[in-house]
Each structure stands twice: as C-alpha cells, then as structure tokens.
Amino acid sequence: MDIHEIVQQRIAKLEALGSKNVVSYPSQVPDHATIGQALSDFQEGKKVTLCGRIMANRAHGKVNFMDLRDSTGKIQLYIKRDIVGAEKAALLEQLDIADILSVSGELFKTHTGEFTVKAEDFTILAKALRPLPEKWHGLKDVELRYRQRYLDLLSNEDVKKVFLLRAKIIQAVRSFLDARGFLEVETPMMHDIAGGAAGRPFKTFHNEYSMDLYLRIAPELYLKRLLVGGFDRVYEINRSFRNEGVSTRHNPEFTMLEVYQAYADYEDMINLTQDLICHIAREVLGKDELLYQGQTINLKTPWNRQSFAGLVKDKFGIEPQDEVSVMLNKLQAKGLAKDKNRLSRSQINKIVEDALQEDLQTNPTFITDYFTSLCPLAKTKKDNPLISERFELYLAGMEIANAYSELNDPQEQRRRFQEEIKDLNTEERKSVDEEYLLALEHGMPPAGGLGIGIDRLVMLLTDQPSIRDVILFPLLRGQEQTEDKV
C-alpha cells in the first residue's frame, strides 16, 4: 500500500470519528502526569492520567495492548473493551500508530514485569493522517532526516539523546558563567555594518528606515560596547550568520558563545576556556575525557600549546613581517592557493589553518602567536609588535574557540580597520564602524574576549561527525515538497 492510500484510509477513519461526534483535535487536555513521573513513582493500583503518542498497537481478542510514549518515557496500555465500555471500544478500530491519546486508568505490572496502565477511559487528542517511518534507521536519504527532523526524533532515540545533551551543555555553560559573575545579555542580530569578524554577511533591507542591514557575523563589537558602559563581565549565547559554504563543520546559521571580561587578557581566557570545557564535560559526561570518532580526547589540564608563527615558518617559510603578496607566493610554492592572484589576509589565514589542521593532535591544543596582520581586533605582544595576544583552540583537529586580549586603543583600532578594508575586494568592501570607534574613544578597559563554537563543541561531546547532526533544523537546499516524502 502506498502513502496516498494510507493517508486516504486515515482520513476515512477521521471522518468516521466525526460521524460519531468525536472531536479528533480537542482544545482542552485533561490534567495529567508525565509517563516518566508515573514510572519513577510507580505504585500498583495507583490511578493516573497520561498523554502520549501510540507507538505500537497489538490486538488480542477483546484486548488491545498499546505502547504510549511522551518525551519522558514509554509505558504499555491495556485496553479491554469490557472495561472502557462499548462506546469507547468502538473507537479502537479508528486508532492508528502515531495517534495521540489521553488515557486514564490504574497502574499494574504484567506477569512479565512490564509497567502497564489498565485503561478505564481514553480520549483522542490528535489523529495522525500520516504514518511514522517503519524502518527509519535504514533510511539512506540522510537529507530527508534533516528536512523532517520531527520524524527523526520520533523514530530514533539516539538522535533525541543528542539534542537532550545539547540542552544540558548550554545549561552547563550558563551555570558556569553565572557562578563567576558574568551577565548574560542580548545584542542586535541586524547590523548596519557587517563587522566583528571576517565573513560574508547576509544582506536585507528595512523598509521603514529605507536602509540596508546585515544579519550579524558576530556580536563582538556590541558586547565590547557594554564593557565601555561599565558591565565588566558579559556573555551572549548568540545566533550568527555567514553567507558562505556548507560542510560537515559549517552551517550558515550557527550558535556561538562570546564572553568578555574587563581587566583580563588572553592568558585569563586560556584559563577560562580550560575550566569551562572541563566543567561542561564533567556535568554532561561525568568525566575529563571524551570519545570522538574513535579517538579518546584527554581534557586534563594544562592543555598543550603550539606557536602559529613557528608552525607556518617551519611548514611554509612564512615570516610575520612578510607582505601579503609574499605569503601568497610562499603558499603557492607549497601547492596551496593555486590560481590565486590576490588574497585577503583572512583568506590566507584560512588556507594556512586548513593545512595546519592536518598536523594538530587529538588532545586540546592552543595555537598562539598569530601574526598581528591577521588579527585586527587583538593587542600585540609587548616584546614583538608583529605577534598578537591571540589563541585558537583545537580539539581533534577542529577549531573550537578563538580568543585574544582586546585592542582598546581607538586610534590603533581605526588604523587596523582601514588597513583591513584596503585588502578587501570590491564585493567584500565594508565601512569602518564609526559607532564602535566612538565607544572606544570614551575608554574601554583592558579586556579578554573569547568565542566558542557551540555547535562544534556539541559535536565533540556527543560524538557526531557532522554539524548537521547537532542542529535541529540545518539549512538545506530548496526541494519541492511531495506527498511521498515520508
């Protein structure tokens, strides 16, 4: 039987219920406990009312055994026609797997020890017109799983566990930072200037003000305004957007944690990063190590450090004083940046880092000593102005965090912005953020700033190979919707 016939059969059942004056989508739901509560406080003979979805239905003579599930657990239903009465018994023929019910009755255990509700009454709360996938685990169309995530969650407990863990990870982030006196804030998602990070923005238009706006690349410049305003410790778990490629590690819409602490520097951010990630691992996994794609990652501190300047010198012969054109020539000599006549600093930075990722070890590694020319928002080292006080954190060869001692000199920041813009091509050209520079001119305290990719961190802690596996509804290509997509 194809999907069209199944849907028509279910519509016929819906109409049959209507002919019996049964409301298949009632607006009121009776007071009820969760299935998890009923199971954790199980008492023989206790009266309960539960709500959930039918996941299995087995008829034996005058008795139907059903599995009912909600977000907290699953329980068996024992529905005997003599107990529920002829009127309700007649409705059993119209029920299907995936229908949503409210059931009232008495708890008991079967002779096999299965927790069960002996139903005394039930009410249809929602009639499902489409079936659940029968063999979801065997589906080869991975994109369909992402497109119809609701079915993925219903049919695959392992997928559901990933997103429960994601919620716990974010809760652990908040509890850690709140306990250390950080204030959670919200900053705009639409900016009049695309800034705060390297990346191509999504562009939109505001009709009332007749102005172009950009979905934020990062919240950094707004969060640092708050340091100027006297909030010494702030953080935001934010949605950011970059109009760039899609891969197992990139989604155009993603979640970042950004943290800013006044009177701190990048060394303080190193300590904060180690403490935060170890705290999350202990809260979520209960230990200081994790298994990612067959690799054991030891989180015991202190974590390893490697010098970016040293790595690129050894591998590519690149020196911090090199002009961009010289860096490009050296990369091309090593077989990278092929067919490129000109690259921005951020593009060169990405090419180099992609090449270096292959050499990074599994355990956490801080990459320090980035070139100042590649870090327009970071302070320079006191003993070497060509090197910035910045680090990136890699775990299992994947970039997880980026941090630095924040540049708070408004004149130097203006010079850096102007230098950065000069290197951009016409398509990427943007304006200097004068509002941010105005804020700096009022005095921003020395500070450390930290950004952590929440999606990638969740990938590591839940052992998922793709960023799409940890985002409930990742961006997908456009696709015509047809009835046979279930």
DSSP 210-230: TEEEEE-S-SHHHHHHHHHTT
Q: How many degrees, rounded to 5, is the angle at CA 414 between CA 260 and CA 444? A: 35
pLDDT at 336: 85
Task: List per-residue pLDDT tens for the chain, 486 residues long.
Answer: 789 999 999 999 999 999 999 999 999 999 999 999 999 999 999 999 999 999 999 999 999 999 999 999 999 999 999 999 999 999 999 999 999 999 999 999 999 999 999 999 999 999 999 998 875 444 557 788 888 999 889 888 899 999 999 999 999 999 999 999 999 999 999 998 887 777 788 999 999 999 999 999 999 999 999 999 999 999 999 999 999 888 888 899 999 999 999 999 999 999 999 999 999 999 999 999 999 999 999 999 999 999 999 989 998 999 999 988 898 899 899 888 877 776 776 777 777 777 777 777 789 999 999 999 889 999 999 999 999 999 999 999 899 999 999 999 999 999 998 887 776 665 555 678 999 999 999 999 999 999 999 999 999 999 999 999 999 999 988 765 444 454
Residues 173 and 73 in one domain: no
Question: Does residue 479 form part of some domain?
Answer: no
Residues 304 and 403 in one domain: yes
Question: Does residue 315 form part of some domain?
Answer: yes
Residues 160 and 116 in one domain: no
Residues 227 and 294 in one domain: yes
Residues 81 and 187 in one domain: no
Tokens representing 315 are 């591998």
Residues 323 and 188 in one domain: yes
The answer to whether 336 and 355 have CB atoms below 8 angstroms apart is: yes
Residues 46 and 164 in one domain: no
Question: Does residue 205 form part of some domain?
Answer: yes
Residues 268 and 346 in one domain: yes
Question: Does residue 476 form part of some domain?
Answer: no
The total of structural domains in the chain comes to: 2
In 3D, which of 151, 188, 181, 66 has the Cα closest to residue 116? Answer: 66
Residues 292 and 377 in one domain: yes
Domain ranges, residue 79: 3-126
Question: Does residue 452 form part of some domain?
Answer: yes
Q: At what angle do helices 434-441 and 410-422 cross, to 10 degrees?
A: 160
**Strands, E assignment, 9-114:** 47-60, 63-70, 73-80, 100-109
CATH at residue 391: 3.30.930.10
Question: Does residue 51 form part of some domain?
Answer: yes
Question: Does residue 147 form part of some domain?
Answer: no
CATH at residue 97: 2.40.50.140
Residues 111 and 249 in one domain: no
pLDDT at 423: 63
Residues 257 and 334 in one domain: yes
Length of the chain in residues, anyone? Answer: 486
pLDDT at 426: 56
Question: Does residue 141 form part of some domain?
Answer: no
Helix (H) or strand (E) run with residue 476 in it: none
Residues 202 and 96 in one domain: no
The answer to whether 116 and 94 have CB atoms below 8 angstroms apart is: no
Three-class DSSP category at 71: coil
DSSP string, 406-437: BP--HHHHHHHHHHHHHTS-GGG-----HHHH
Phi and psi of 178, rounded to 5°? Answer: -60, -40
Helix (H) or strand (E) run with residue 355 in it: helix 345-357
Q: Which of 126, 141, 171 is the last residue of a domain?
A: 126
